[in-house]
Amino acid sequence: MPNQQIPDPPDNSRPHEASDDEVAAAGKLSEALETVERARGRLYDFHQLIGHADLMLDQAVQKLRDAGRDDLAEKIETELVGRNVLHGRWTFQIVEEFDDNFWSAFRKSEMLVRNELCNGSRHVFESEMKEARRTHGYPGHEARP
């Protein structure tokens, strides 16, 4: 009989005392955090796109001046260049406020629940799903790298 190595348990294993409901709750909160992370990425996209558009206004103003339309160039420069996106805020301020007031609180809450229910392990729910769905002993279905 060849020497078979017994694999280590998955890094994301369930603590013995964690119930199905607790693992499911921690998993759902982590899923919600992942959605917030995606939204945060889009917020940063928004921030960079608006910043880029604001810098492009300089070119548009110059082209209006080159075309002899100083009146329109002045209007764009006065009305749009450097304009707040929300009352009193540029996009960097929106991003900072989001990060400080919502994103960081969400991450702390998710970590609190994960630490309390799953000994800090991430993706316990998904780890168990992987174990249930993979074909043990079949190539491409290994438990771990």
Query: pLDDT for 38-92, tens place per residue?
Result: 999 999 999 999 999 999 999 999 999 999 999 999 999 999 999 999 999 999 9
Please, are residues 108 and 34 in contact by the beta-carbon 8 Å criterion?
no
Boundaries of domain holding 101: 20-129
The answer to the question of residue 74 being in a domain is: yes
12 belongs to a structural domain? no
Residue 145 lies in a domain: no
Q: Classify residue 42: in a domain, yes or no.
A: yes
CA pair distance 31, 25, nearest whole angstrom: 10
Average pLDDT of 97-122?
Answer: 95
